[in-house]
Structure 1
């Protein structure tokens, strides 16, 4: 469990840092690409952990999902520390922007709370009380981590072109949406605020589809220019193919246990294909 003490951030910052390059001693394009990728991936981990908790509660591949949950929690924790202090293994450099550090402290506080649910489930406690706390707290953790990513995006414009920062952010967000919609499907099935989560699932599906189309052909409102890069377009079409397999299952009104198991299996290849898109954009950004 994370033991970092909360950092003190002065209320008044005399010299406001307008960019990560100014605050972090000069972040390269490659370093910024890694930061955007891994900070964005943290959003996905919040949803992946929640999904894994719910799969365990439903009795789906319990041993395997406990192993995955433990691994996801460890990686979330390691990445969060790396965003604070840098991590050579992950390729993260320390960024000194005080506003981002302050935001990451909010994430760390919420993570300490959420980690209690992870630990409880790993000990075998999948009570409705734990599941309800998980359902509530994961959203706060996701929201604050997303704010951190947006701060990185805004601060990266001196290093990355604005369209590239937005594209990496939203492509990375797609990874999170693959896990979020699976989580919402499970919450509906378990009976935790089913009407609310059914509505959220509908919105998540719609946003995933819109963003995928925008990554391919552009979406001015989302700030996406689209891409003409043949390799990236081909990879996005692989994502679309996986999505066309997954959507009919995740949007079905009622799912059997076997269908839930199938959904849990299919969403991982979808996540992997979407992650490959992010890596391609990240590589392109450093050129």
Structure 2
């Protein structure tokens, strides 16, 4: 494989080459799998943008986090357009389902207000814990609106999945959600540090604790299976290895998140979380792409 071809691009090229050989229903399955990945990634981006702004606001990896914000904003906008109007790297067909279009309209409505918050950050008028906490609340609204679309696409996938495993949509959803949860945890650590003794600090601590529990339970379920979470064993050996490695990495990273719950972290510890969250995201992205390519 030429080194200049990324794994996502190779996957998309293979899908295109096989398109003529696949029955129409299998093509619908494949497109929905990829749409689930893209729609799930939107949930992550909603949290990643606030995490980046919060860290930059604290002076943690300022330039790197501003770049993360810029690329995340572009990806969110372009992906929403692709899901709605079609096209993009995967050459999606335009969305025609009325319920999906309605859910996308809801995302667009929240995005207008959220984008105004990004503009305030870029203008330097987003200052203090209260401003960042309010933008974080908007990001949760954006997350919920995006998640509603994911759940709708998953239901559609289960309805049409024939030759593929109907549980695959569930696995793509949960594996994709891990990307969001690690970003959300990073965001909540930053907001907790920014809040310090502010009245909102206990709320940020509770949010962080809930996020960590959900990430931990989901990581365990993806790795070892879980009837409670409707997660079967990993479908392939490479995904099984990926999930085990994620579980191991999480076991090391969680100690920093636990430390943030009992005291203030120093700048180096905040830097380590910021860098680790982004590295973890790359690894999780690769795994979700494996699921979506099945």
Give the TM-score, by structure 1 length.
0.86
> How far off is 1:105 after superposition?
0.4
- 2:275 aligned with 1:271: no
| Matched positions, count | 260
The alignment yields a C-alpha RMSD, in angstroms, of 1.6
Cα–Cα, structure 1 residues 221 and 91, in superposed 2: closer, same or farther, change >3 Å? farther
Cα distance 1:229–1:161, how it changes in 2: closer, same or farther (>3 A)? closer
State the Cα deviation string for residues 194-243 of structure 1 (Å, max 9, x = none). 21121111111111111111112211121111226221111112212221
Q: Are 2:44 and 2:181, in contact at CA under 8 Å, matched by a contact in 1?
A: yes
Name the structure 2 match of 1:131. Answer: 132
Query: How far 1:100 sits from its partner (Å)?
Result: 0.9
DSSP-derived class of the 2:206 partner: helix
Cα shift at 1:246:
1.3
Residues 231-240 or 140-149, more deviating: 231-240
Separation in 1, partners of 2:114, 2:66: 16
- Which 5+ residue runs of structure 2 have no aligned equivalent? 1-23
Query: Judging changes above 3 Å, is the alpha-carbon distance between structure 1 residues 197 and 91 closer, same or farther for their aligned structure 2 residues?
Result: farther
The structure with more helix, counted as a fraction of residues:
2
Give the alignment of 1:218-237 within 5 angstroms: 218-227=225-234, 229-237=236-244
Residue correspondence of structure 1 range 55-134 to structure 2 within 5 A:
55-128=55-128, 129-134=130-135
Tell me if the contact between 2:34 and 2:293 (Cα under 8 Å) persists in the aligned partners. Answer: no
After the TM superposition, which segments of 4 or more aligned residues of structure 1 sit over 4 Å from their partners?
A: none
- Residues 21-60 of structure 1, C-alpha deviation per residue, up to 9 Å, x if partnerless? xxxx965222111100000000000000010010111011
Please state whether the residue corresponding to 2:106 is helix, strand or coil: helix
CA contact (8 A) 2:182 2:277 kept: yes
1:127-154 per-residue CA deviation (whole Å, 9 max, x = no partner) reads 1253132122111111111111001101
2:293 is paired with a residue whose SS is: helix
Partner of 2:187: 183
SS at match of 1:70: helix
Partner Cα separation in structure 2 for residue 214 and residue 91 of structure 1: 32
Q: Secondary structure at the match of 2:59?
A: coil
Cα distance, 1:64–1:167 mapped onto 2, change above 3 Å: same
Paired residues for 1:2-13 under 5 Å? none
Q: Which segment drifts farther, 90-99 or 270-279?
A: 90-99
